[in-house]
Amino acid sequence: MDFRPTTECPHCGATLKARTTRLAGRTLFCGYEQCGCAGAEAEREKERQVEAEAARKAVQDKAMHDWKRAGVPERYMSLDHPLAAEIADGMKNGQWVYLWGDVGTRKTTCAAAVAKRLAGGKRSVLMAPMYRILDEIQRSFHDGGDPLKRYAEVRYLIVDDLGKRRPTGFVLDSLFSLIDQRYSAMLPTLVTTQYKPSDLVRRLAEQGDPDTAKAIVSRLRGGARVVHFDGPDGRLQ
């Protein structure tokens, strides 16, 4: 291998020797000595910072990718919520969660922040607005397929705004099937809704069977941590 035996430090002009190693009878060039002058040290420090920044960005990009795949809405990507950490920990221990409160009490912000903490890994968490799940069920009535499978099997499911739209009978039955499968498999589920449990039963039963509505809500809140949000930061009850 061809290389110059010395080079000059571009900062102070010092002569730096080439470093070599012997491998299989050949001399290999391994770069030049490092110079200890302030200019060379500052350049190495800058390189370390650039590498650290690139590593930090790679971690952040990976997280954003995981959050997007988990269904965290774009506008909630950068938001956090004071209750999210302990709710996520509870779900890791199998806890179901029922978040209810008026519009504007940051239920969805909290739910998204929980989803972000549970994301990463395969099939770990899915967050979806209820209307989307209902639409997928509705479509499958004509198109076939099993839209509920991925919601039924994901480790953590987060359903936003349950009860915002009134489900019809067929959809209500499918919703029951989804919740019941997760309940039987003990897969932690979080729902947000504007309705307290008794009102949610009435809401879901408006176009469907009251017993089915009751069974859904009974599974959602049975053993669940029920949190009433009544201000911008939520409040424990």
Which of 18, 37, 63, 79 forms a contact with Zn ion (CB under 5 A)? Answer: 37
- Which CB, 48 or 65, lies closer to Zn ion? 48
Write down the residue that tokens 């004071």 correspond to.
Answer: 82
What residues pair up with 192 in beta bridges, in sequence order? 99
Q: How far is CA 230 from the centre of its chain?
A: 25
- Which CB, 32 or 176, lies closer to Zn ion? 32
Q: From the CB of 14, what's the least distance to Zn ion, in Å?
A: 5
Which of 32, 35, 117, 163 forms a contact with Zn ion (CB under 5 A)? Answer: 35
175 and 209 Cβ atoms separated by less than 8 Å: no
H-helix or E-strand containing 51?
A: helix 38-70
Choose the stretch contacting Zn ion; rule: CB under 5 A; options: 6-14, 103-111, 137-145, 179-187.
6-14
- Which CB, 40 or 226, lies closer to Zn ion? 40
- Which CB, 44 or 57, lies closer to Zn ion? 44
Q: From the CB of 28, what's the least distance to Zn ion, in Å?
A: 24
Site string for Zn ion, 9-28 (x = CB under 5 A): x-xx-x--------------
What residues pair up with 8 in beta bridges, in sequence order? 15
Q: From the CB of 9, what's the least distance to Zn ion, in Å?
A: 3
How far CA 232 is from CA of 61, 65, 108, 184, 193, in Å, comes to 29, 28, 11, 34, 15
Asked if 191 interacts with Zn ion (CB under 5 A), we say: no
Beginning with the edge strand found earlier in the chain, give each strand of the sheet holding 189-193 in spatial order: 125-129, 156-162, 189-193, 97-101, 225-229
Asked if 63 interacts with Zn ion (CB under 5 A), we say: no
Asked if 165 interacts with Zn ion (CB under 5 A), we say: no
The C-alpha atoms of residue 97 and residue 221 are separated, in whole angstroms, by 7
Q: From the CB of 118, what's the least distance to Zn ion, in Å?
A: 50
- Which CB, 40 or 64, lies closer to Zn ion? 40
- Which CB, 40 or 215, lies closer to Zn ion? 40
Could you tell me how many residues of this chain bind Zn ion (CB under 5 A)? 7
- Which CB, 44 or 62, lies closer to Zn ion? 44
What residues pair up with 32 in beta bridges, in sequence order? 18
Q: From the CB of 45, what's the least distance to Zn ion, in Å?
A: 14
Classify the C-alpha dihedral 93-98-101-105 as positive or negative.
positive
162 and 197 Cβ atoms separated by less than 8 Å: no
Secondary structure of residue 209 in the 3-state scheme: coil
DSSP label at 153? H
**Two tokens at 100?**
């209810």
Tell me which residues touch Zn ion (CB under 5 A). Answer: 9, 11-12, 14, 35, 37, 40
